[in-house]
Structure 1
Amino acid sequence: MNLHRPIHSLRTLYTLLGCLLLALTAAPGFAAAPAALYQQHCASCHGADRLGGMGPALLPENLQRLRKSEALKTIAEGRIATQMQGFANTLPADEIQALNDWIYTPVVPAPTWTAQQMLDSRIVQHAPGSLPDRPTAIYKGVDMMNLFIVVETGDHHVSILDGDKLERLHRFPTRYALHGGPKFTPDGRYVFFASRDGWVTKFDIWNLATVAEIRVGINTRNVAVSADGRYVIAANYLPHTLVVLDADLRPLKTLEARNQKGDQSSRVSAVYDAAPRQSFIAAMKDIPEVWEISYDPKAEPVYEGLVHDYRMGEGNPVPGQFYPRRTLLADVLDDFFFDGTYEHLIGASREGQLGQVVNLDSRRKIADVGLPGMPHLGSGISWQWQGRTVLASPNLKEGVVSIIDMANWQTIKQIPTLGAGFFMRSHEDSRYAWVDSMMSPNRDTLQVIDKEKLEVVAQLRPEPGKTLAHIEFTRDGRYALASLMEQDGALIVFDARTLKEVKRIPAAKPVGKYNLYNKINRSEGTSH
């Protein structure tokens, strides 16, 4: 190209600049721009737009739980048990660093995910009614409600465990980085998973088969399943939506998470099933509202100002099913606990020092609750204490478990622990509640609280220096299973009465395990 020719148009200028860029990036010793590196080495698996493909999405929203140092190591060395190969022998260190920095930068404008993209992504492996309506032979003699679903993020697999024999029955691969607990249909046949990349998977436990999958967003927090098993709803960080599906993972409605005025959108922190109310409850990360979305076909109309798709005037009724009833609050609440009737919601802000009690019938705050630090109400539990129902919540910032009287919402006691924790569990037939300190230097120790004395009575530290968390009980409460959350980790089984270790089941970073009976029947010792 003659660089001395006059430039007669913008098109000629852009062509010239493009040629110069290509020439420069081809020159020896030139560090290629990260966008060009990405298109050359990453786009075929992770998508040209970084929204994911065969590999996961590479966006800052999706990488929040992956430290930059770990991402850098993955680019250089690859990832075990995946098709991700390392580039240490292909790219110089500065280009690997540039790629790593680039995938943690936001995409502007923020990407969207349309209804058509959802439909295009939907995969049906087994048509409805095509699989036998009975458990396969592997389950002969097994209590189907004492199964555990174990999420292992170390190599992206799920295990199915026999809760009586405490043995693994089956193990299968999953989407990358499952996020949030699995949810079950009321008969225990199907389990639904959500991945951080927005994939919702329906798995037939009886037949050990993935039935269907659909991608409902780009960054998804969790899913909930209706009490009748007919509907699934997904909460998204990106885009700011709630997506309602039928049980066969066909999209029914997308709700944009906008405030009542319609001038502000919000990430959706989580969504829960409120079985007695035949509705879903959604937590908003960025706006001071709580949403209740009825799945009752006979639900009363919703009087709404701005509704996605309809844009009706203020006070006009819209169908009650799958439209939000809003509770307007003074503060944002992005973490919830519910009483047994689901009449009351106890919420906390990540920044506040007080929790709030919201009456979902009157749709207003009725009380404040003294909760220090950063309570993790989503992992709270309840039990009977001296004739009263109490709420117990671990804390993500302070070494304390808060005990709240659910009759008057007063604090009964703050129980000191070894450090900030994430999970808390118990069982109706156990005298103990278990809490970890995994957010602190004492991440290797479980503390056991006597539910009557309201004090720590034991500390369990079977593997010093390794993260130990997430207790879950067998159906009868006889055994408590803890997760040794390491790549070469294990499920450590304790006798729930003597607190002695019984056995270990090897597992690849088991982040959580979920007993079908306890989850489906909403055990008071299991978070909902």
Structure 2
Amino acid sequence: MRKFAFGTSVLGLAAGFMFGMGSAVSAAEPTLSEADFEEAKLLYFQRCAGCHGAERKGATGKSLEPKATQKLGQKRLEKIITLGTEGGMNNFDDIFSKEQISKLATFIQMEPPKPSEMSLEDMKKSVKIYVKPEDYVKKPMHGRNWENFFVVILRDAGKMAIIDGDTKEVLSKVDTGYAVHVTKETSDGRFWYTIGRDGKQNKIDLWMDPPQVVAESQIAYDARDIAVSHYGEWKDKYVIAGGYWPPHFVISDAVTMEPLKVVSTRGVNVDGAFVNEARVAAIYNTPKSPSWVVAVKELGQVWQVDYSDLENLRIEQMDSHKFLHDGFFDPTQKYFQIAANASNRMEFFDTTTRKFVGSLETGKMPHPGPGANWTDEKCGPVGATGHIGEGMITVWGNDPEGHPDQAWKTCYKTETDGAGLFIRTHPNTQYVFMDQPKHPEPEIQQSIQIMDKKTRKIVKTIRVTDREKSIALHGEFNADGSELWVSVWARGGKADWMNGEIVVYDTKTLEEKARIKGLETPTGKFNVYNRVHHVT
């Protein structure tokens, strides 16, 4: 029996603890050298754990436990990793070398290492304050229109770029956690909180010249989402972040970033089975009450967490379907709409009554990202999602008060060329924009498609880039909706990173206006005004 002892990886605490610091793994056949095992372990954390889980039991992606992967065998696994699948897994031949693909295929046939836990004491030790709250600037120091700033994820570089939406200047690139998944704002939009795949949460002050990180802490070894308290006397008092591993959420002081309270999300799912790896997929502030919605992926539950009394925490657990992922609110900010993508459904919750109110079967594996809302001439107010598993836009009614016959029912579907991640629109444009990065063909994954709200038809396809090893994704509007910004993510090794850019389009003419170059692996973008004012 062969054993491996693990130390801290190049990602520091994140990957080291994530995959079992000091744990032992036995392997007969197949097997890897200790060095190759460490490399494959890190690759799995960076690119695979999000969909397949630290314990490899599956969720959005299939189970990768040895009993399943050994049946497929080395060659078949290498082909899947290389080319991707029609079910929504993208190809990795432009990210991994052939040798890395081989090692990863072997690694997932071996018993998974045991992930480690993280205590509140560990989290408190990670707090770093770079600017004391009493030293915060009292007004914007740069004289810019900061409400039209874009906060941009530079994924693989572990940075965030702050870009002036008026001038297209890159004002700063600040160090954050690895592969930031999302960033959320204070109620006025001044401070932005990021959460990295390594569980590091950072606080960025947009009023500084240049904008920079003022505090940070770590709340998990793998994480996905974060949100700030926006309601009443608790406005901007707390920040909550959710862990993929350990499976929990953590409430911190929004000023100092000190973790205050940890709540485990392990539990019994909607089918009655205990789930050890019940991960927090998404967290959102609820505008109409002192609470957050916390989506517990594997449980198939949305938890509404009331932050008005942390010592006597009140949580409503609302059952829906598995596996919960991204979501967004309707225009009234009352109803929360979230994808249960492995169940091919959108789920709907009333955050004022704190109850589950509806479920809609969509296309294969819905994934709205930040989502899209608009008014359809026949169905009234509607919401929409794209899909990871097929090229399809599904549109439903989301106004139960004004259009009860249409509420939580399909209004229409529109085919696109390929599977995507993010769908966006704005009140000041007649179009809906959909990316397609999950399709394996470069021509499609490098293009966005544009649907007319009135005709419900795709009216234009734009090839955003033809650069090798690059995909186009994640549209975001400037403050007045006159521009759509689309990321070009150069996905190769470090030598390819600086090939990333953001392409800016006029939302009326659909013509290109500008390219912002010199960006390392840009992905998600967040406009201050639109996010503060809940423009979807």
Which position in structure 2 is the counterpart of 1:85?
none
1:276 match: secondary structure: coil
What is the letter of the counterpart of residue 171 of structure 1? K
Residue by residue over 1:226-245, the C-alpha shift from the partner in whole angstroms, topping out at 9 and shown as x without a partner, is 21221110111111101011
Residue by residue over 1:217-270, the C-alpha shift from the partner in whole angstroms, topping out at 9 and shown as x without a partner, is 111111111212211101111111010111121112111113379954411111
Match for residue 4 of structure 2 among 29, 32, 35: 35
1:493 match: secondary structure: strand
Which position in structure 2 is the counterpart of 1:369?
360
Which position in structure 1 is the counterpart of 2:48?
64
Which position in structure 2 is the counterpart of 1:132?
137
Distance across 1 between alignment mates of 2:483 and 2:104: 46
What is the correspondence of 1:459-498 to structure 2 with a 5 Å cutoff? 459-464=461-466, 466-486=470-490, 487=497, 488-498=499-509
Distance across 2 between alignment mates of 1:457 and 1:200: 40
1:520 aligns with 2:532: yes
Cα distance 1:246–1:362, how it changes in 2: closer, same or farther (>3 A)? same
Once the two structures are TM-superposed, the CA of residue 359 in structure 1 deviates from its matched residue by 3.3
> Are the counterparts in 2 of residues 60 and 105 from structure 1 also a CA contact under 8 Å?
no
Distance across 1 between alignment mates of 2:279 and 2:45: 11
Once the two structures are TM-superposed, the CA of residue 59 in structure 1 deviates from its matched residue by 8.1
Q: What RMSD in Å do the two structures reach over aligned CA positions?
A: 3.4
What is the letter of the counterpart of residue 210 of structure 1? V
Once the two structures are TM-superposed, the CA of residue 409 in structure 1 deviates from its matched residue by 2.1
> Are the counterparts in 2 of residues 401 and 417 from structure 1 also a CA contact under 8 Å?
yes
Match for residue 508 of structure 1 among 506, 517, 520: 520
1:404 aligns with 2:388: no
1:211 aligns with 2:214: yes
> Are the counterparts in 2 of residues 146 and 517 from structure 1 also a CA contact under 8 Å?
yes
Cα distance 1:252–1:105, how it changes in 2: closer, same or farther (>3 A)? farther
1:344 aligns with 2:313: no
Distance across 2 between alignment mates of 1:252 and 1:164: 39
Which position in structure 1 is the counterpart of 2:434?
435
Which position in structure 1 is the counterpart of 2:285?
273
Which position in structure 2 is the counterpart of 1:159?
161
Once the two structures are TM-superposed, the CA of residue 396 in structure 1 deviates from its matched residue by 0.9
Which position in structure 2 is the counterpart of 1:291?
303
Which position in structure 1 is the counterpart of 2:185?
184
Once the two structures are TM-superposed, the CA of residue 196 in structure 1 deviates from its matched residue by 0.4
Match for residue 244 of structure 2 among 237, 245, 248: 237
Distance across 1 between alignment mates of 2:140 and 2:530: 20
Gaps (5+ residues) in structure 1? 1-20, 22-32, 73-87, 300-317
> Which of structures 1 and 2 has the larger relative contact order (alpha carbons within 8 angstroms, sep 6+)?
2
What is the letter of the counterpart of residue 359 of structure 1? D
1:379 match: secondary structure: strand
> Are the counterparts in 2 of residues 285 and 333 from structure 1 also a CA contact under 8 Å?
yes
Distance across 1 between alignment mates of 2:11 and 2:485: 37
Which position in structure 2 is the counterpart of 1:195?
196
Match for residue 258 of structure 1 among 261, 266, 283: 266
> Are the counterparts in 2 of residues 178 and 194 from structure 1 also a CA contact under 8 Å?
yes
Cα distance 1:414–1:216, how it changes in 2: closer, same or farther (>3 A)? same
Residue by residue over 1:384-440, the C-alpha shift from the partner in whole angstroms, topping out at 9 and shown as x without a partner, is 222711111111111110111223222121111111111111211111111111111
Distance across 1 between alignment mates of 2:391 and 2:474: 16
> Are the counterparts in 2 of residues 59 and 104 from structure 1 also a CA contact under 8 Å?
no
2:157 match: secondary structure: coil
Cα distance 1:95–1:189, how it changes in 2: closer, same or farther (>3 A)? closer
Once the two structures are TM-superposed, the CA of residue 170 in structure 1 deviates from its matched residue by 2.0
Once the two structures are TM-superposed, the CA of residue 347 in structure 1 deviates from its matched residue by 3.4
Which position in structure 2 is the counterpart of 1:394?
386
> Are the counterparts in 1 of residues 450 and 458 from structure 2 also a CA contact under 8 Å?
yes
What is the letter of the counterpart of residue 197 of structure 2? R
Residue by residue over 1:254-301, the C-alpha shift from the partner in whole angstroms, topping out at 9 and shown as x without a partner, is 11113379954411111111122221001111113220011235x9xx
1:123 aligns with 2:117: no
Residue by residue over 1:303-326, the C-alpha shift from the partner in whole angstroms, topping out at 9 and shown as x without a partner, is xxxxxxxxxxxxxxx83xx43211
Distance across 2 between alignment mates of 1:48 and 1:151: 19
1:517 match: secondary structure: helix
1:351 match: secondary structure: helix
What is the letter of the counterpart of residue 240 of structure 1? P
Distance across 2 between alignment mates of 1:43 and 1:97: 20
Cα distance 1:185–1:346, how it changes in 2: closer, same or farther (>3 A)? closer
Cα distance 1:151–1:335, how it changes in 2: closer, same or farther (>3 A)? closer
Cα distance 1:107–1:366, how it changes in 2: closer, same or farther (>3 A)? same
1:380 aligns with 2:382: no
Once the two structures are TM-superposed, the CA of residue 162 in structure 1 deviates from its matched residue by 1.1
1:221 aligns with 2:220: no
Once the two structures are TM-superposed, the CA of residue 182 in structure 1 deviates from its matched residue by 0.9
> Are the counterparts in 1 of residues 157 and 179 from structure 2 also a CA contact under 8 Å?
no
Once the two structures are TM-superposed, the CA of residue 153 in structure 1 deviates from its matched residue by 2.1
* Percentage of pairs with the same residue: 27
Once the two structures are TM-superposed, the CA of residue 364 in structure 1 deviates from its matched residue by 4.3
Aligned length: 444
> Are the counterparts in 1 of residues 265 and 280 from structure 2 also a CA contact under 8 Å?
yes
TM-score (normalizing by structure 2): 0.75
Which position in structure 2 is the counterpart of 1:9?
none
| Deviates further, 121-130 or 154-163 | 154-163
Distance across 2 between alignment mates of 1:475 and 1:343: 23
Cα distance 1:100–1:213, how it changes in 2: closer, same or farther (>3 A)? farther
Cα distance 1:447–1:99, how it changes in 2: closer, same or farther (>3 A)? closer
| Deviates further, 378-387 or 198-207 | 378-387
Which position in structure 2 is the counterpart of 1:82?
none
| Deviates further, 462-471 or 450-459 | 462-471
Distance across 2 between alignment mates of 1:337 and 1:106: 37
Distance across 2 between alignment mates of 1:436 and 1:95: 28
> Are the counterparts in 2 of residues 60 and 104 from structure 1 also a CA contact under 8 Å?
no
Distance across 2 between alignment mates of 1:204 and 1:197: 21
> Are the counterparts in 1 of residues 286 and 351 from structure 2 also a CA contact under 8 Å?
no
> Are the counterparts in 2 of residues 125 and 212 from structure 1 also a CA contact under 8 Å?
yes
Residue by residue over 1:332-367, the C-alpha shift from the partner in whole angstroms, topping out at 9 and shown as x without a partner, is 544433323443333332222443333344554433
